[in-house]
Structure 1
Amino acid sequence: MKLADIRKEYTIKSLDLNDVSSDPFQQFRVWLNEAMDSDVPEVNAMCLSTMGLNGFPNGRIVLLKEMDHGFVFFTNYESEKGQEIQALPKGSLTFFWPELERQVRIMGSLEKVSELESDTYFHSRPIGSQIGAWTSPQSQKIETREALSKRLEDVEKRFEHEAISRPPHWGGYRLLPIRIEFWQGRPNRLHDRISYEVNSENKWIISRLAP
């Protein structure tokens, strides 16, 4: 089959201005809960896009771990994404839940979460993941897989008789949104799009967008 011939009609649900919450965070929780109830795999997976140091947009999948007044994820601060965020602390998140024919796009600024928040989440992770945070020089070039295995052995030996502390180069970021768009697939590519944008008074303005 040719790629151009792949086509799907979206017919499951609709989205109307009269149906959505005035609070985009509440609307996101409703959709997230429905996605979890529908057993969407990797329901908290999201594409984080930042501006690369080479001037090109750069995206990768990360996992949403908390939602309060922003959207929180954790990573290595010295990784490629960490360096990009340090240079330009702005980004976007994209969720795609094909089982519900839904997409959510979120745009905003990025900030580090507090040390306490990073510590709390780090110590909630499985031991193997804690060890992994110390082991991997994320995004750096390595010679072989065996070299990574040797680093793992060294880290395991280091923490054999002591509690695993959070690496200083590892922690969380929070994306603080200025725009959130909810997309619901509809027949004939006439999809429903509802956008929330923050105005100068820090209030959310809701609009319907053409598909």
Structure 2
Amino acid sequence: MKRNATIAILISTMLLAACHKREKVEEAPAAAATPAAAPAAPAPAPVAATPPAEQTAEQRDLARKQGLLDYGIMEDKYINDPRAQWAADAKASSVFGDENGKTPSEVNLAKNVVGPSDSREWTNNNIDKGFDWIETTYAKPVNATEVRVIINGGAGVQAINKVELQDVDGKWNTVWTGISDVKADARGNRTWFVRTFEKTAYKAKAVKVTYANNLDHDYKKIDAIQLVGD
């Protein structure tokens, strides 16, 4: 009897412990549920570039006329510039047709550059070798700010590689040298090669324009040269 009582007490104790454990499990708060990640938004489809609309014949004609007008305004400003003067005399390193003691034609002489633009021109004698230059002098020495070279049709404009000014004491001063970025101007019959610089402290009386002939395999031609200054 005593043994049975002991067994009964052990069973009761085990049952009581099991009940307490179950209660603790039930009382524990449920773990917070981890929210599911939202699905990634699909990448937007690439937008095809809209090709530029082709201009109508009327629009092309209007653009052409606007280009001609812009050119005319530019050229008129240069030609009638009160600060600009035209050459009074000119000489050059070569003239087309002067080799082997021949007398070059009047239509190619350096003197054709004297005075305002009139379509008469100097033409050099070299297509692709060496350097050629033309030198122009002016009636009034000025503190210069700009040189403008007028070239009919733009022939050889990209071969110009140096512009120099001569002061009243005879010294030459380089105001620009490099590779020409000027291309033949398709808007008009003349191309203006313009170089602007800080006003010179000295009075300039002459301009020298030099060509690197190999930069443009063609004869070089100049109609007129303006010196601008005060």
Normalised to the residue count of structure 2, the TM-score between the two structures is 0.24
Normalised to the residue count of structure 1, the TM-score between the two structures is 0.26
